[in-house]
Amino acid sequence: MKSEQTLVIIKPDGVQRSLMGEIMKRIERTGLKFVAIKFLVPEADQCWKHYNKDEEWFMKKGTRIVEDRKTHGMPIEKEVIEYGKDIIKSNVDFFTSGPVLAFVIEGNQSVAIVKKLVGETEPATSDIGTIRGDLTVDSYSLSSLDNRAVRNLVHCSDSPEEAQREIPLWFNKEDIVSYRLLQEQILYDVNLDGILE
């Protein structure tokens, strides 16, 4: 069993809607474990480092916004790349608008399991049964027309590599607690017994 860590952040909309317990309960029921938890109001610089986007990303997202604006008969007032950068600016503004609950989850394939549980980034296209699909109804189109961040309740790392980059932005090594859950002890003992036989 290969254990990995992933970062999860309940965003200001999740905190304001009192969904922290519901979101944590859904994650906890998977058998993954919480190894660090922090309640804070993020700093803008921390959020810019967290998002870590490049020009290709800005162009791709900016193109989507320009298409949304054209579809709705709205003027195109700036370069495509600037619309893309506006997404991160609005996300940073949103992230710093109030408290968030950040935590590190650990366990076998924790990144993939949490991503599946959280759902697609856009709530409107997220499956029923996921956190975003069940608990919010926002869309990229609506958020771009309103010139704001999409309200999707939760951030989770996209890959194990991304988790390794993100976690130190939010937690010091000393913040992360190492311990074993009962089910891990049972699995360890079973595996060890199998090896010894």
- Write the pLDDT tens digit of every residue in 54-94: 999 999 989 988 998 898 898 999 999 999 898 889 899 99
Q: Are 9 and 15 in contact (CB under 8 A)?
A: no
Superfamily of domain 3-52+96-196, CATH level 4:
Nucleoside diphosphate kinase-like domain (3.30.70.141)
Would you list the domain boundaries of the chain?
A: 3-52+96-196
CA distances from 37 to 76, 111, 162 (A): 42, 17, 19
Average confidence score pLDDT of the chain: 89
> 8-29: per-residue pLDDT in tens?
999 999 999 999 999 999 999 9
To which residue do tokens 């007032």 refer?
Answer: 77
pTM of the predicted model as reported, rounded to 2 decimal places: 0.83
Question: Torsion angle of alpha carbons 9, 11, 12, 16, nearest 10°?
Answer: -90
50 as an active site residue: the answer is no
d(CA 153, CA 131): 8
Which one of the listed residues 101, 155, 157, 171 is annotated catalytic? 155
